[in-house]
Amino acid sequence: MVSAGQVADAPRGNWVDRLAPPRARPFLRLSRADRPIGTWLLWIPCLWALALAANDGAGFGWWDLWLVASSGVGAFLMRGAGCTWNDITDRDFDASVARTRSRPLPSGQVTVKGAVIWMAVQTLIAALILLTYNRLAITLGIASLALVVIYPFAKRFTWWPQVFLGLAFNWGALLLWAAHSGTVPVAAVLLWLSGIAWTLFYDTIYAHQDKEDDALIGVKSTARLFAGRTGQWLAGFLAISVLLFAGAVILAIPGSRGLWPLLMALCGIWAFGLHLFWQLRHLDADDPATCLRLFLANRDAGLIPVLFLAAAAFL
């Protein structure tokens, strides 16, 4: 049973519903603060980049600690701003879908004007963090706004909106590598592409929750496109993500550091792939509860390489 103001697909007893001031709750719900998985999925590619870039032999420094912390806060803010923008553009669609009609805009908890102001506040605070980075990282951060703006409209004109989500959600791999080293090497690009394939994997699973409602209102997604062939497509995305990630590791870790750091990092990629394979084996695309559970498991999947890459940097 959903109480007044709560969002139907938010975890029951989340911190927003329990602890946030009542007047702040609609805005925090608009930012999906009651569902932190999106922040994790936006932050994890940043952590991949920082952990792998630190394998250049210089290791971690105080600046990298700031990059880790600030990128986490930035991920929270920009995920919130992006979700707010998404809800502004999708408010009519959301009102037609059972899972989303209780969100703050379609339910009337927040006005469009209030949502726009809230989006601007989050973006400005994130911009203050970005301004502490180097010029290349700042340029990349500004460029990412185009992807954020386009994404909500992608499902109106393409069957592949998950590609646009992947482009945006994994941009941190490029941005944080640039913030760490002042460059964007080929390894960083491969890492970004690996993340895009990973996003196609997990967000296709997520989109299967809404495929029936999406079909009724004309919203496109890879879940609807793949239909009964979803398993084969996901296996392909899994393979592409792992191979590109392994390529990034091989390019990023210099031979002068010896064999053990490379092996440690590659073990992390193998474990990441194994987790995705476990998800694939347990997928029931027609069971929304299973789809949500597997989607949420991608936080742990994404953190596995972070641990191995960080360990490799200390070897």
Q: Could you state, in order of their start, the residue ranges of all structural domains in the chain?
A: 17-314
pTM of the model: 0.94
Q: Summarize pLDDT for 200-243 with one digit per residue, the tens.
A: 999 999 999 989 888 888 889 999 999 999 999 999 999 999 99
> Per residue in 59-93, pLDDT tens?
678 899 999 999 999 999 999 999 999 999 988 87
- Residue 282 phi/psi, 5-degree rounding, is -100, 5
pLDDT at site 115: 96
pLDDT band at 1 (very low <50, low <70, confident <90, very high): very low
Contact 119, 84 (CB under 8 A): yes
Structure tokens at 100: 């989303």
- Please state, in angstroms and rounded to a whole number, the distance separating the CA atoms of residues 221 and 207: 7
- Type of residue numbered 210: D
Q: For the chain, how far is it from start to end, CA to CA, in angstroms?
A: 51
**Does 17-314 carry CATH code 1.10.357.140?**
yes
For residue range 154-194, list pLDDT tens digits in order: 999 999 999 999 999 999 999 999 999 999 999 999 999 99
Spatial CA neighbour of 198 closest among 269, 97, 99, 100:
269
